[in-house]
Amino acid sequence: MKRILITGGAGFVGSHLCERLLNEGNEVICLDNYFTGRKSKIVHLMDNPFFEVIRHDVTMPYFIEVDEIYNLACPASPIHYQQNPIKTIKTSVLGAINMLGLAKRTGAKILQASTSEIYGDPELHPQPEHYWGHVNPIGIRSCYDEGKRCAESLFVNYHESNDVRVKIIRIFNTYGPKMEPDDGRVVSNFILQALQNKDITIFGDGMQTRSFQYVSDLVEGMIRMMNTTDDFIGPVNIGNPTEFTMLELAKNIIQLTQSKSNLVYMPLPEDDPSQRQPDIRLAKEKLNGWEPQIDLQEGLKKTISYFKEIISEN
């Protein structure tokens, strides 16, 4: 049994990770300040004697004895991370410093949940890990993009200067049950609009692309990365390489929900990437052949069922 700390453990991805690691027989400590996390996502785990929940902000130091740390704490959707951009940068940078300090003191292995956003609006497609990115450092999205880029730098430097055992993954668009209805992500937006027969909002011409991975595939990749040997630190792309346009996604969801929604077009937000697709060859090589197992149709059906329950409860 390992003692595992998950920052942002009451969030969308964090709550799935808590559940998986508990089911594997570990002791899990969930740390969250509930800025975007929700206690409702983890309440079903609270009867487990090996699960602990702590309200804490990672911008402040935290002291505990653990074997592993998954550093997930940070708002991850534009609507949330742009709400308080200074807080977002502090969470990424100070949170990384505090958790790396904890890992250094305890000898714990620590994984950084970085993001495909560090590639910005990419000029190289698909995006391999050696690509440095094309990011506007003062744009509306920079609080998240640059915060995560700085966190990666901190992880590498703590590893090289202090021998901290670090792992870095870059997460591409992820969806599934436990997403927040108001998080502004395209999958949740489209599903909710379709289920309520409202107009589906397409930003730009709808030809920008994304690659969508189901949350269980991400969690599997995270755990495999944590279990790699200490000499491999990453970064590693974790995402689904199958690419879809926003129009394809919208039409797919309309069909699956049998919705009467119409498509409406709105101006494209500032610095919105035109394309995003992971090169996952390194993940396949280093993570025991990891690759996504849930295709978009199957994943959307599960996510639609979840949001149907959310709507019926309200």
What are the residues whose beta carbons fall under 8 Å from the beta carbon of 43, sequence distance 6 or more?
none
Is 3-174+214-240+273-293 a CATH 3.40.50.1370 domain? Answer: no
Boundaries of every domain in the chain? 3-174+214-240+273-293
Task: Give this prediction's pTM.
Answer: 0.94
For residue 18, the 8-state DSSP code is H
pLDDT at 148 over 90: yes
**pLDDT-derived band of residue 313, with 50, 70 and 90 as boundaries?**
confident
pLDDT in tens, 215-274: 999 999 999 999 999 999 999 999 999 999 999 999 999 999 999 999 999 887 776 777
pLDDT in tens, 10-44: 999 999 999 999 999 999 999 999 999 999 999 99
For residue 267, the 8-state DSSP code is P
Q: Assess contact for 294 and 214: CB atoms under 8 A.
A: yes
Q: Assess contact for 7 and 73: CB atoms under 8 A.
A: yes
**Tokens representing 197?**
């027969």
For residue 278, the 8-state DSSP code is B
What are the residues whose beta carbons fall under 8 Å from the beta carbon of 221, sequence distance 6 or more?
169, 236, 238, 283, 287, 290
* 175 a catalytic residue: no
For residue 205, the 8-state DSSP code is T
Of 276 and 32, the one with more pLDDT: 32
Residue 206, sorted as left (phi over 0), alpha (psi -120 to 50) or beta, turns out to be left
Q: Assess contact for 125 and 180: CB atoms under 8 A.
A: no
The secondary structure of 206-258 as a DSSP string is S--EEE-EEHHHHHHHHHHHHTS-TT----EEES---EEEHHHHHHHHHHHHT
pLDDT of 314 reads: 67
What are the residues whose beta carbons fall under 8 Å from the beta carbon of 291, sequence distance 6 or more?
280, 283, 284
Dihedral sign from CA coordinates of 311, 218, 131, 113: positive
The secondary structure of 98-160 as a DSSP string is HHHHHHHHHT-EEEEEEEGGGGBS-SSSSB-TT---B--TTSTTHHHHHHHHHHHHHHHHHHH
- Vertex 243 angle, CA 240 and 247, to 5°: 130
Q: Catalytic: which of 81, 144, 158, 214?
A: 144
Q: Burial code of 286-314, b = ≥16 C-beta within 10 A, e = fewer?
A: bbeebebebebeebbeebbeebeebeeee
Counting Cα atoms < 13 Å in the Cβ hemisphere of 199 gives 7
pLDDT in tens, 189-232: 999 999 999 999 998 888 888 899 999 999 999 999 999 999 99
